[in-house]
Amino acid sequence: MRLALKHQIILAPAVVLCLMTLLLCFLQYTYWDMSAKRQHAKDLKSAFIALAEADMASQRMHGLVRFLAQAQVPDPRALGLIANLHQHLIMSIDRLQESGQVGIEDLGQLRKTIADLNPEQGILLERFDAALTELRPEIAAQLNALNQQRDDMSELHGEDFDALVAETTFVTIVVLGIAILVGILLSLAFARNILRRIHVLSASAVRITNGDFSPPQAPDEVRDELDGLTVSINRMTDQLIRVVAAEKLLEGAEEERRRIAMDIHDQTLADLSAVGRGLEQLRQTPACGEEAAWIEADLQRATANLRAVMDNLHPQTLDILGLSAAVESLLEKACKAPGSPVYHFMADDDAVDLKLPRLAQVTVYRIIAEAVNNVLRHAHASQMEVNMALRNHSLVVAVEDNGGGFNQTPMMPTTFGGRGLHNIQERARAIGAQASWRHSRFSSGTRFELVLPL
């Protein structure tokens, strides 16, 4: 399965980004593990401090109990200190419970022993001494256990930190190296494939430009943008072959029309001229003079009709005076009949002096003749304008009338009309021009426009 071109382009950076994301997740997990260990060390420290404070309080309380046991008279100050130390023991055990570093059973035993030291239940020195004798070893044992955990944690923390730095550095270097290598390999692989296919298409375009109409092989299925471009080049080549074939056919047809017109001029008109000279001599004979005059009049009409046919086949004015003069002569002949529209012909100096290839010149003339003929036959117009001008490196020819117009789609002129309009389209396509129809600048009518890039 071939990836789309845009996916091939973004695949390499996407893979690199995925690898970098995995690296960031690994670093985040490592940081989280280190944070958990730091929090554990902090809790151990809090528990150790709480137990140390409880140990100090129990030592002072034990000393005060022994002092009161030796004294003859109870000391109120010592009794108050015992009450304060008992509260301090309770708060220390509460902090120890919050740290969560001592088991529930051990905490319960400590709280039970401290409850026996509550001064509010009465100060019995023997009970206090027994309770403190039991409490202090328990606190000392817990202190030793926490101290050992702190020492182990300190050693592990140092070792873990060094190992963590080494591990993260190694993993980071490895992942970055792999990401860069994978990105380069993927980029080279896809770029090589894309450039190879583009080179094939470029070579095909060069061949087509040089006249070798052999398109690249079309894919069985369009799977990416380059496949679509290959199919488009194939279709373009087919269209170009058709256009070139039409151009060659049109060029051959025009050359044949020109040859026939020349043959008629050189042979048929010459023969008719010889017949005319014979009739002129025959007309001088008294017996045949009137009949010869009638025949000569018919011969002149036939000669005029034959000259019109010759002009239709290939107008001599086009070869002698150029496109502008030929169009003006065409309009003068076409609009001399009664009821014809009033015409205005305008051509700027650049259009008059323009030298077109023979095929393009003849084709433009034929298109103008067809457009003018459509106005005369179908538009029922009273005015007609024909303009020729150079604009934006293109020859622009416009035929505009104020007639009845016709139903049209301005953007798609090939969707309407009969054979004449179809012929105009085919002729324009053969020389690379564009023909269009739209509404006239008059209050009614149609504007035909031909644009031929130079």
pLDDT (tens place) for every residue of the chain, 454 residues total: 466 666 677 777 888 888 888 888 877 777 777 777 777 778 888 888 888 888 888 888 888 878 877 776 677 787 788 888 888 888 888 887 887 777 777 777 877 888 877 777 777 777 778 887 888 888 888 788 877 777 776 665 555 666 667 777 888 888 888 888 888 888 888 788 778 878 887 887 777 777 776 777 777 777 777 777 777 777 777 777 766 666 666 666 666 766 776 766 666 767 677 777 776 776 677 667 666 677 767 777 777 777 666 666 667 667 777 888 888 888 888 888 888 888 899 988 888 888 888 888 888 888 998 899 888 888 888 899 999 999 888 999 999 998 887 765 543 444 444 567 888 888 888 788 889 998 888 888 899 999 999 8
Q: What does the angle CA 12 – CA 15 – CA 21 come to, to the nearest 5 degrees? A: 140
Query: For residue 359, with 0-12 CB atoms within 10 Å meaning exposed, 13-18 middle and 19 or more buried, which class applies?
Result: middle
CB-based contacts of 350: which residues, under 8 Å, 6+ apart? Answer: 389, 390
d(CA 451, CA 413): 14
Structure token digits, residue 359: 């095929």
The last residue of a domain, from among 172, 188, 204:
188
Domain membership flag for residue 240 = no
Alpha-carbon Rg for the chain, nearest whole angstrom, is 55
Do 325 and 184 share a structural domain? Answer: no
The last residue of a domain, from among 188, 205, 237:
188
The last residue of a domain, from among 159, 188, 217:
188
Range of the domain at 23: 5-188
Which residue type does 165 have? V
Domain membership flag for residue 235 = no
150 neighbors 40 (Cβ within 8 angstroms): no
Give how many domains the chain has, as a whole number.
2
Element (H, E) at 72: none
Domain membership flag for residue 293 = no
Structure token digits, residue 450: 């031909």
pTM of the model: 0.46
- Residue 356, domain CATH: 3.30.565.10
